[in-house]
Amino acid sequence: MLHRLIRSAALRIVATRLLQAIPVMWAVTLLTYSLMNLLPGGSALVLAGPGASSAEIEAITIRLHLNEPFWDRYYHWLFAMVHGDFGTSYSTGQPVSKILAVRLPVTAELVVLAMLLSVAVAVPLATLAVRRPHGIADRLSLVICMTGLSIPGFVLGLIMILIFAVHLRVLPAVGFTPLSDGLWPNLRTMILPSSTLGFALMCNYTRVLRADLSDQMRGEDYILTARAKGISPWQVLIRHALRNSAFSLLTLIGLNLGVLLGGTVLIEEIFSIPGMGSALIQAVETQDVIVVEAVVVVLSLGVVLSSLLTDLLYAVLDPRIRYGRPAS
């Protein structure tokens, strides 16, 4: 019965979210394509160079179909992208799908490492803080959270480079080593950028999780019942309160994936990581609109899929959840 409930809830969530994702992704593509077409000068002028003649600019315009009506160009671009053809880069001549295939795994690794580090530190830190309110761990967590939420990411990245790369010389300051060259060489180049990216999120997770755990430990009936049964405080906190607080943490993680993806743009530039963020910056500098459009659409799709995954995890943790129905 339990497995049927989980499967039914999961299928309903998938169907609902996929239907909701279609207009969202369409709006993203339309907005992105429209904004790229409002750039001053145009791609043909940038590719032709400052000394190009009007004939050369017109030839590039025709070759790139930039002289066609907006809706015709948008339709052909969207139709090709849905079928896996992201076009060809204006500046490099490479297929955009090849650029994405090289850059996307790097950004995905950076985001996953940042998320794992933030959760791995936030959960025990918040648990220790709640176990002894106003104790050393609680005060320390407050100081860390206030510091992390106050320092901008680019400043924290420079501080990390100064400490661990310049003074201690234990980690490289910039650069990237692919996973194919070995696990540890790869992780050495990803520790600083992933820690910088995940530090603010860790502080946010700790703050929210600590507040939720504190509320549950103070007034929930199931906590009082567990204490009356003689269960140790640590078991009450970890086995009961922490499990119920997982919903708040999951919601926050799902919502913050967009923040992580957006943060990669600056972090990859600081640490010279060849991911989607650095590809986006390079494409903007050269007005390579076809690459910008593809990167924005792919990152937006990642945010939508993360929201879907979060809803599925809800159904796994609590199959009694009924989306779109009143609680029974």
Report the share of the chain in percent with pLDDT over 90: 21
Token pair of 162 as six digits: 């100064």
In the three-class reduction of DSSP (H, G, I as helix; E, B as strand; rest coil), residue 95 is classed as strand
pLDDT grade for 172, boundaries at 50, 70 and 90: very high
Would residue 322 count as lying in a domain?
no
- The residues near 144 (Cβ < 8 Å, ≥ 6 apart) are 125, 203, 206
Choice among 102-106, 143-147, 303-307 with the minimum mean pLDDT: 303-307
Q: Which CATH number fits the domain that encloses residue 175?
A: 1.10.3720.10
Would residue 210 count as lying in a domain?
yes
16-43 residue pLDDT tens: 777 877 888 888 888 888 887 776 556 6
CA distance 292 to 282: 9
Would residue 178 count as lying in a domain?
yes
Structure confidence at residue 162 (pLDDT): 92
Structure confidence at residue 106 (pLDDT): 94
Residue with tokens 């199959």: 319
First-residue to last-residue Cα distance in the chain: 17
Would residue 325 count as lying in a domain?
no
Q: Give the residue, 250 or 79, on which the prediction is more confident.
A: 79
CA distance 13 to 2: 17
In the chain, the number of structural domains is 1
Residue with tokens 């794992």: 116
CA distance 28 to 258: 14
Would residue 181 count as lying in a domain?
yes
Structure confidence at residue 98 (pLDDT): 92
Residue with tokens 């129905």: 325
Would residue 28 count as lying in a domain?
yes
For residue 143, which phi and psi values (nearest 5 degrees)? -65, -45
Q: Which residue range(s) make up the domain with 85?
A: 2-317
Would residue 163 count as lying in a domain?
yes
Would residue 179 count as lying in a domain?
yes
Structure confidence at residue 319 (pLDDT): 54
